[in-house]
């Protein structure tokens, strides 16, 4: 499992001083990008190889609000690797270890022209050891 740290900015919060619900998708995207870098490639390198991973579905369960200046840990791990599919599990925890959010994102592997394509073999090989089977129970 990969961990990414993020400090909540004022711009991410509502007037009620909690992170606006859709901003979590941005945080998950940032964490996945750093996960890919730690796995040996970057999103840009994949794109240069005509390989992108659009989100085709996302499930989020909000457990507790994150607030301005909280330091969050975002855990990321692959949950499924199939021919043209790559799914990720995510957990967001605050500095006290309290669960803020659970999420799962579902991705298709496509060309930049949005044609489905197989996961590159070298990428799949680097992700298999990190695979955590199973889905988050929603």
The count of residues in the chain is 138
**Lowest mean pLDDT: which of 23-27, 87-91, 108-112, 126-130?**
126-130
How far apart are alpha carbons 108 and 116 in whole angstroms? 7
* The CATH homologous superfamily of the domain defined by 2-130: Hotdog Thioesterase (3.10.129.10)
User: Is the overall model pTM greater than 0.75, yes or no?
Assistant: yes
pLDDT confidence band for 136 (50 / 70 / 90): low
Q: Do residues 130 and 89 make contact, with C-beta atoms less than 8 angstroms apart? A: no
20-31 pLDDT, tens digit each: 999 999 999 999
Say how far residue 18 (Cα) sits from the centre of its chain. 20
Using H for helix, E for strand and C for coil, what is the string for 20-60? CCCHHHHHHHHHHHHHHHHCCCCHHHHHHCCCECCEEEEEE
Q: Do residues 100 and 135 make contact, with C-beta atoms less than 8 angstroms apart? A: no
How far apart are alpha carbons 48 and 51 in whole angstroms? 7
pLDDT reported for residue 138: 55
pLDDT reported for residue 49: 93
CA-based nearest residue to 46, from 110, 2, 1:
110
């Amino acid at each position: 499992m990969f961990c990414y740290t993020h400090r909540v900015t004022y711009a991410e919060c509502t007037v009620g001083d909690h992170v606006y619900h859709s901003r979590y998708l941005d945080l998950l995207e940032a964490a996945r990008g750093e996960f890919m870098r730690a796995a040996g490639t970057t999103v840009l390198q994949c794109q240069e190889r005509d390989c992108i991973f659009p989100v085709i579905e996302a499930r989020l369960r909000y457990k507790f609000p994150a607030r301005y200046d909280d330091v969050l840990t975002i855990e990321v791990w692959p949950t499924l690797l199939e021919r043209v599919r790559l799914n990720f599990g995510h957990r967001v925890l605050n500095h006290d270890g309290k669960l803020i959010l659970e999420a799962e994102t579902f991705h298709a592997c496509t060309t930049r022209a949005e044609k489905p394509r197989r996961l590159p073999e070298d990428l799949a090989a680097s992700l298999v050891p990190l695979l955590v089977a199973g889905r988050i129970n929603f």
